[in-house]
Amino acid sequence: MARAVSRNTRIGWTIAAWFVALLIFFPILYAIITSFKSEQEAIAGFDLIPSFTLESYREVQSQYNYFRPFMNSVIIAVGSTVLALLVAIPAAWAMAFSPTKRTKDILMWMLSTKMMPAVAVLVPIYLIFLRTGLLDTRTGLVIVLMLMNLPIVVWMLYTYFREIPGEILEAARMDGATLGQEIMHVLAPMAVPGIASTLLLNIILAWNEAFWTIQLTTTNAAPLSAFIASFSSPQGLFWAKLSAASTLAIAPILIMGWFSQKQLVRGLTFGAVK
């Protein structure tokens, strides 16, 4: 806004905005604080200043082998996203640069597969996994999450690729560029940012997925979402430990998320809001 705003108004809005923002962020902040408390402190009543012990972090690793679900999360999230990209890049590319009459219908149909409620296919997917030995394997989850996110990946890439002007390719060709040169020097630099954003958003979505991960894993392949859900019973993790496990589980994604705010809007609204 270009208008001059009085300093007092500005300070007033700032206080209000920060108050609301901190209120919304508070549960996360409180979990981070609690993760640095001892178990006694954690249930000793409201206190924003922990004793900064790392005890809970150590115990989460030594008692529950935290590293394994963490690595499962990394492999499943990255694996499913990379696989989806491999399939989606050529498809989105073809639809953006050689559209046919049916391209729009195909895109809408892909979107419609995303509307299928996961629970509707719980029975067949579970039975297929049970019979093929895919239950509780990372391979199985990579396949399911890849298929689940494929429509979003195609859509996001399509909206990015569509913004690359086709004339630039022709210009490069006129100047005598070979196909290899065309891809390396003209297309790649323009396509990479879109691909990177798509990669980031889909890692976030796959990392936080909590229906299939809980249904299809027990101990071996359980990623963090399933691992932490298993501590819902009263005899589960104590609170400081739960907080430490939670902090470690959300920290990487929180940071990635902060960097992908803009892409988030675009990816999750299928380009309907930019």
Of 52-60, 61-69, 184-192, 245-253, the window that binds other proteins (rule: CB under 8 A) is 245-253
Tokens representing residue 63 in the block: 């008692």
DSSP labels, 219-230: SSS--HHHHHHT
Q: Which amino acid is at 28?
A: I
Site membership for other proteins, residue 131 (CB under 8 A): no
* Alpha carbon distance 76, 149 (integer Å): 12
Three-class SS state of 256: helix
Residues 12-51 that bind other proteins (CB under 8 A): 13-14, 16-18, 20-22, 24-25, 27-28, 30-31, 34, 42-43, 45-46
Tokens representing residue 232 in the block: 């819902």
Of 62-70, 82-90, 131-139, 182-190, the window that binds other proteins (rule: CB under 8 A) is 82-90
Compare residues 20 and 196 and give the one whose CB is closer to other proteins.
Answer: 20
CB 246 within 8 A of CB 231: no
Site membership for other proteins, residue 239 (CB under 8 A): yes
> Binding other proteins by CB under 8 A: which of 74, 82, 94, 164?
94
* Alpha carbon distance 249, 70 (integer Å): 7
How near is the Cβ of 59 to other proteins at its closest, in Å?
A: 17
Of 60-68, 99-107, 132-140, 183-191, the window that binds other proteins (rule: CB under 8 A) is 99-107
Site membership for other proteins, residue 232 (CB under 8 A): yes
Site membership for other proteins, residue 67 (CB under 8 A): no
> Binding other proteins by CB under 8 A: which of 60, 76, 125, 200?
125
Please count the residues of this chain forming the interface with other proteins, following the rule CB under 8 A.
101
How near is the Cβ of 94 to other proteins at its closest, in Å?
A: 4
Task: Report the candidate in 56, 96, 107, 94 with the shortest Cα–Cα distance to residue 231.
Answer: 56
* Alpha carbon distance 184, 106 (integer Å): 29
Residues 191-230 that bind other proteins (CB under 8 A): 204, 207-208, 210-211, 214-215, 224-226, 228-229
Compare residues 111 and 190 and give the one whose CB is closer to other proteins.
Answer: 111
Q: Could you tell me where the DSSP H helices lie in 115-187? A: 122-132, 138-161, 166-174, 179-181
Compare residues 138 and 270 and give the one whose CB is closer to other proteins.
Answer: 270
CB 249 within 8 A of CB 64: no
Q: Could you tell me where the DSSP H helices lie in the chain? A: 7-35, 39-42, 55-64, 67-97, 103-114, 122-132, 138-161, 166-174, 179-181, 188-208, 212-216, 224-229, 239-259, 261-268
Residues 150-169 that bind other proteins (CB under 8 A): 150-151, 154, 166, 169
Residues in the chain: 274
Site membership for other proteins, residue 273 (CB under 8 A): yes
